């Protein structure tokens, strides 16, 4: 019998504070039109002082658990993707486990930057298919606003905060059809966020730095290849895909991927405009939104894909 990792619940959380392009233009040399034309972003959410990756993850996770109509204690594995953990250790996954009141469960973090949720789905899929886990919670949670230099026009316009969650369970019905993940550390200097204390350079600012044009070129080419790889692995045509749920980094990258699929933007889930780039949370936030508003229905074939620092990139093809 073939065992699939099937989605049984989704969740998401966005902080209350909204920072608009106009707000940013008051502190750096930019404008609403300049930002929107280049990125597709008009605003983003900013975590309150008391909020952390684990507190946001808890809210998203509880929504997924409620949708799935299961007890939290049924979860036997928690995977949290984050580049902005509450602590170096213990892991945000362990902190989320405690917040959810689960005593018998394995929990850990992964760090694959903006591709984190895709990497998490890949791991969850392998655990369930192998029989090592039955019910897995995957969460992407980020407070990007705290690692952004708000005087750097090139990066501060891009990022926002939030958390997305998906709950997977072993099933005989089709669920995750395939996952594909890749990494290439040669591109380290194009997109990075240093850890000053670990580097022995505590005076260095631990902010995101990015060479935008170079990242854009690699992202577009790489995501084009991942589309081909995913379709070939499943003997599918582009027309077999009902929905594209991309990482929400830049509307031009999203449009280029949709063009590769010959897909109308009406079948692309876009949350970028009012959320910005929430890194590892963005794909799951977008997926949750489209499930909850009824666009993504049971039986639909959904392609999730992402590209992030590392570089890392990947896809997950799901029959929802």
Residues labelled catalytic: 114, 247, 277
* Beta carbons of 307 and 292 less than 8 angstroms apart: no
Token pair 């953990």 is at which residue? 85
Closest CA to 279 of 130, 170, 164, 154: 164
Q: How far apart are CA 154 and CA 179, in angstroms?
A: 32
The string of DSSP codes covering 50-107 is T--HHHHHHHHHHHHHHHHT--GGG--EEEEE-SS-S-SSS-HHHHHHHHTT-SS-EE
**Kind and range of the H or E run holding 290:** helix 282-292
Q: How many residues does the chain have?
A: 320
Tally the C-alpha atoms within 13 A of residue 28's C-alpha that lie toward its C-beta: 16
DSSP 105-157: -EEEEE--GGGHHHHHHHHHHHHHHHTS-SEEEEEEEEEGGGSS-TT-HHHHT
Retrieve residue 163's tokens.
């958390």
């Amino acid at each position: 019998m073939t065992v699939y990792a099937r989605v049984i619940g989704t969740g998401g959380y966005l902080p209350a504070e909204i920072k608009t392009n106009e707000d940013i233009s008051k502190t750096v040399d930019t404008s609403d039109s300049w930002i929107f034309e280049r990125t597709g972003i008009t605003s983003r959410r900013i975590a309150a002082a008391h909020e952390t990756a684990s507190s946001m993850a808890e809210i998203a996770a509880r929504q997924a658990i409620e949708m799935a109509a299961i007890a939290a204690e049924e979860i036997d594995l928690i995977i949290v993707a984050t580049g902005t953990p509450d602590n170096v250790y213990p892991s945000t996954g362990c902190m989320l486990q405690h917040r959810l009141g689960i005593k018998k469960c394995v929990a850990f973090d992964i760090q694959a930057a903006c591709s984190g949720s895709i990497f998490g789905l890949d791991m969850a899929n392998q655990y369930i298919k192998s029989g090592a886990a039955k019910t897995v919670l995957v969460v992407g949670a980020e407070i990007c606003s705290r690692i952004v230099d708000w005087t750097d026009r090139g990066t501060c316009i891009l990022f926002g905060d939030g958390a997305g969650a998906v709950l997977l369970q072993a099933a005989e019905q089709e669920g995750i059809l395939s996952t594909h993940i890749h990494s290439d550390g040669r591109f380290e200097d194009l997109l990075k966020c240093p850890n000053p204390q670990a580097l022995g350079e505590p005076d260095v600012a631990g902010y995101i730095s990015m060479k935008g044009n170079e990242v854009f070129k690699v992202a577009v080419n790489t995501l084009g290849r991942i589309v081909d790889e995913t379709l070939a692995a499943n003997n599918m045509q582009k027309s077999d895909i009902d929905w594209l749920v991309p990482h929400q980094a830049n509307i031009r990258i999203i449009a280029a991927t949709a063009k590769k699929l010959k897909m109308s933007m009406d079948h692309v889930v876009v949350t970028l405009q009012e959320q910005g780039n929430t890194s590892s949370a963005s794909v799951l936030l977008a997926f949750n939104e489209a499930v909850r508003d009824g666009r993504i229905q049971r039986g639909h074939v959904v392609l999730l894909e992402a590209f992030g620092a590392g570089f890392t990139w990947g896809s997950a093809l799901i029959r929802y």
